Chain A
Amino acid sequence: MVEAEIDDSGEIVLRRITSVVDTGIAVNPDTVKAQIEGGLIFGLTAALYGEITIDKGRVQQSNFHDYRMMRINETPKIEVVVVKSGEAPGGIGEAGVNAGPPALRNAILAATGVALRRLPIDRKLLAAGRKA
């Protein structure tokens, strides 16, 4: 679950993230949590900033000044709950990556009524949709 603030310009501020994960028997629950925390940030970075554009066969982004990452001052509180489970242990490496973007997208829908269907999030579309 993602809690976010969206202003008129389409700017997004993440407030809080809660994630519940059932990975079967958690051999090392603390590492499971760490993977989910990191995965969420990785996935949300992709949703917020991960645009790659190609011009004349060449990728235009080159470094962090034109290809951003979430930074610590954009990262909200993240709470991860590992469900007690007796199932066989499953992989947990990428689970958080995929959970973040749809949760954010749905938070945006709930907050603004704008149903985004493409990632990364287009701030202009979001701002326009919000005003419409």
Chain B
Amino acid sequence: MHMAQTLTINGETKSFNAPPEMPLLWVLRDILGMTGTKFGCGIAQCGACTVHVDGKAVRSCVLPVSAVENRAVTTIEAVGDTPSGAKVQKAWLDLEVIQCGYCQSGQIMAAAALLAETSHPDDSDIDAAMAGNICRCGTYVRIREAIKQAANGRQS
């Protein structure tokens, strides 16, 4: 059953019709046309669909849209406006982390949430926050380096 819903995404209020159990990812991509967030697996195993809900990394492919009413959703389209997101994006470019790019919006969202919570993550923090994000191209080595660089400024 479709229902009128209102969400706050990237600081803007969006209204649309969707069944309450529809995953947020579908709403973002198919209804709102915000295709920066990717679909990888649909079962919370890859992290491609990661968004922030109240600043925390969450897999939008398994998150019913009704669960985020009245909560702040941030997507890859606007994460660069957050302090940690900006740092992460810069480090990502400096180290040329990206290969095909498919997983990278999710990687950046996960990394930005990690840095927002833990300003100087060690390797175990990086493992704990990033192991849920698969990269088929195998950019893990640079993801780790880039997170450290984003945390500490230039360093290799």
Q: Which residues of A contact B (CB under 8 A)?
A: 30-31, 34, 37-42, 45, 63-65, 69-73, 75, 77-78
**Using an 8 Å CB-CB cutoff, how does the interface string of B6-21 with A read, 1 for contact, 0 for none?**
0000000000000000
Chain B, Cβ-Cβ closest to A63? B41
The reply to whether A63 and B43 form a contact with Cβ atoms under 8 Å apart is yes
The distance from the CB of B133 to the nearest CB of chain A, in whole angstroms, is: 7
Q: Which 8 A-B pairs have the closest CB atoms?
A: A41-B138, A38-B138, A73-B127, A64-B45, A73-B131, A75-B140, A72-B140, A38-B137
- Indicate which residue in B41, B127, B144 contacts A64 across the interface (CB closer than 8 Å): B41
Given A31, A39, A42, A64, which contacts B46 in the complex, CB threshold below 8 Å? A64
Contact B134 A65 (CB under 8 A): no
Residues of A with C-beta under 8 A to B138:
37-42, 45, 70, 75
B interface SS class:
loop
- Tell me whether A69 and B96 are in contact in the complex, defined as CB-CB below 8 angstroms, given that A63-B43, A64-B43 are known contacts: no
Instruction: Give the Cβ gap from B131 to chain A, nearest Cβ, in Å.
Output: 4
Asked whether A34 lies within 8 Å of B127 as measured between CB atoms, the reply is no
Contact of A72 among B42, B43, B99, B133 (CB under 8 A): B133
Residues of A contacting B: mostly: helix
Chain A residues with CB below 8 A from B134, complex form? 64, 69, 71
Contact A72 B45 (CB under 8 A): no
Task: Tell me the smallest distance from the CB of B155 to a CB of chain A, in Å.
Answer: 16
Q: In this complex, which of B136, B140, B141, B142 has the most chain A Cβ atoms within 10 angstroms of its Cβ? A: B141
Interface residue ranges of B113-156 to A (CB < 8 Å): 126-127, 130-144
CB distance from B109 to the nearest CB of A (A): 15
Q: Give the nearest-CB partner of B137 in chain A.
A: A38
Other-chain residue from A34, A69, A75 in contact with B136 (beta carbon distance below 8 A):
A69
